[in-house]
Chains A and B, each alone.
Chain A
Amino acid sequence: MRYIVNRDAAQWRVVDGEAVVVNMDNSYYYGLNRSGTFVWTILTEQAASVDELAERVANEFGVETARARTDVEAVIRQLAEEHLVLEA
């Protein structure tokens, strides 16, 4: 399954290296950490699967792919629950 940013609901900027994402539907905002920002930035440019994202996170931050996958799954789950990312 591949995911992409829901541009109808999300407004975002990267502030001091961390993404600030505003949900236009409920007015909440979300501050993403460095790895979350990395994932978000990828999804603003192209659709990607959890596996693809995990591999890129592992390469970028020098962590094991399995651990990166766990983190990516958590981020994607939260973003999907808020309808900030959609299935592509």
Chain B
Amino acid sequence: MRRLGLAPLLHRALSDAADLRAALFAPDYRHSTVSNLLRLGQARRVRQALAARDLPCVLLKGGAFLARLAPGDPGIRPMADIDLLVDPARFDEAAHVLSGLGFHRTSERYAFSRSSALAEAFVRDEGPFPVEIDLHRALAPWPILPGLTRSVLSHSERVGEWLVAPVAETLALIAVHRARHAFFWSCGDLLEVRHLLGGLDEEAWQRAIARVTALGALGAVYATLKQAIYWLGPETTSDRTRLEALAAGMGRVRRRVLDRVAHGTGPLAPPLTWHRPMARYLVVYPASMASLARSVAAGLVYLPARAADEWTEARRAGGGVRPGFRALWHHLAGGTAAAQTRRATADRTPAPEAGTERA
């Protein structure tokens, strides 16, 4: 139950039923309450600062779940971060507001990691509880539901103090999110869907189904590509550390070339509509994938070098061409199990952080 992030909810349910077993999960509920109070409190400050600039933001995912379904009980659903969507045209302005509130980007050094990402992570790490806010400029990578971001911004609903996505858009958002995560459905998502269904009539439900039906095939593509990336990439535990490892392994010249590709001018610069899916899931170089031309350029720069590294290392170790092939094959095949382990680890709901109790 803890691994699935359901322990706090179970504590609430058992407490309501006056079941003594609730005590087993009381620490989970308490930690979840504390961390979510802090996250939502900081998010509230961000929202107020954005509103002062006439810049609305939409609360997404776990925060929206709590706002809509459990506004007085933030402990029942653990969260790793707060997700906020802003008008993509004013994204930089919103990022500046976060900076003014003590947040900083978690990957400041790598420009190439930012320009095509759907969201950028900002963290405020004063005190014992770091608070992370994922600031979204978009909700789904092209070509998935290209109108979803605009639709959420245009039709957001006010729930208490927050703007949240309408029910139909929330379902689409969950479907997109899970398709991108290779259909790994968490129990938390299923519970949220179950609750949201009560807000849809039959016609709206049919529309929602029709809207996300195509995600099946696209999700399969994403899952395949994502696995491929894990096979190709270095052994690290998170996208962020993977990115840093990739950058560190490239050397200054290659990094600069790819930064140039990512933010290039000239023939590589014209943005094409064919972007973003590769950015995330051929992760070789996220921002460099902002267009087909850039993707090709990034691939030409990175992949041969990566393959050459493998080849050279294998030949050095084995002393011939055949060991080189064998080592490369083993690297790809051996990456499978490790990648699946990472996949499971990455999707696991993080345990609440330890807090500092004074009184």
Report which A residues bind B (CB closer than 8 A). 11-13, 15-16, 20, 22, 24, 26-32, 36, 75, 78-79, 82
Question: Measured between alpha carbons, how far is A26 from B38 in the docked complex, in Å?
Answer: 10
Verify A11–B41 contact, CB threshold 8 A.
yes
Q: Mark B269-302, 1 if CB is under 8 A from A, else 0.
A: 0000000000000000000000000000000000
Contact size range, B:
20 to 34
Q: Establish whether residues B38 and A13, one from each chain, have CB atoms under 8 Å apart when the complex forms.
A: no
Whether B34 sits at the interface, judged by CB under 8 Å, is yes
Number of interchain pairs (Cβ within 8 Å): 65
A22 touches B37 (CB 8 A): yes
**Residue pair B128, A28 in contact (C-beta under 8 Å):** yes
Q: Is the CB of A30 within 8 A of B38?
A: no
Q: A13-B74, A16-B15 are in contact. Are A30 and B357 (CB under 8 A)?
A: yes
Inter-chain contact B34/A29, CB cutoff 8 Å: yes
Cβ contact within 8 Å between B29 and A28: no
- Assembled-state Cα–Cα distance A38/B205 (Å): 47
Additional A-B contacts beyond A11-B41, A29-B34 (20; CB < 8 A):
A11-B40, A13-B72, A13-B73, A13-B74, A13-B75, A15-B29, A15-B30, A15-B75, A16-B29, A20-B33, A20-B37, A22-B38, A28-B127, A28-B358, A29-B129, A29-B356, A30-B357, A31-B359, A75-B359, A79-B359
Can you name 14 A-B residue pairings with CB atoms under 8 Å?
A: A11-B40, A15-B26, A15-B75, A20-B34, A20-B37, A22-B37, A27-B126, A27-B127, A28-B127, A29-B34, A29-B129, A29-B355, A29-B358, A32-B359
Partner of B358, one of A12, A13, A15, A30: A30
The interface residues of chain B lying within 8 Å CB-to-CB of A30 are 357-359
Known: A11-B40, A15-B33, A31-B357. A26 touches B26 (CB 8 A): no
**In terms of DSSP, what is the predominant structure of the interface of chain A?**
mixed
Please name the 5 residue pairs, one residue from A and one from B, whose CB atoms are nearest each other, closest first. A27-B127, A30-B359, A11-B37, A27-B129, A11-B41
Alpha-carbon gap, A11 to B72, bound state (A): 12
* Inter-subunit contact A13/B126 (CB<8 Å): no
Chain A residue nearest to B356 (CB atoms) is A28
Q: Which residue on A lies nearest to B42, using beta carbons?
A: A24
- Decide yes or no whether B256 CB sits under 8 A from chain A: no
0/1 interface trace, chain B 344-359, chain A, CB 8 Å (1 if under) = 0000000000011111
* Alpha-carbon distance between A12 and B128 when the two chains are bound, in angstroms: 17
| B41 and A22 form a contact (CB under 8 A) | yes
Give the residues from 217 to 253 in chain B that come closer than 8 angstroms, CB to CB, to chain A.
none
Known: A11-B38, A13-B33, A22-B37. A27 touches B131 (CB 8 A): yes
Report if B45 contacts A (CB, 8 A).
Answer: yes
Closest to A8 in B: B45
Query: Which residue of chain B has the shortest Cβ distance to A82 in the bound complex?
Result: B358
| B359 / chain A contacts, CB cutoff of 8 Å | 30-32, 36, 75, 78-79
Contacts of B38 in A (CB 8 A): 11, 22, 24, 27, 29
Most B CB atoms within 10 A — which of A12, A20, A78, A82?
A20
Given A13-B33, A13-B74, A15-B33 in contact, is the A24-B41 Cβ separation under 8 Å? yes
Chain B residues near A12 (CB, 8 Å)? 37
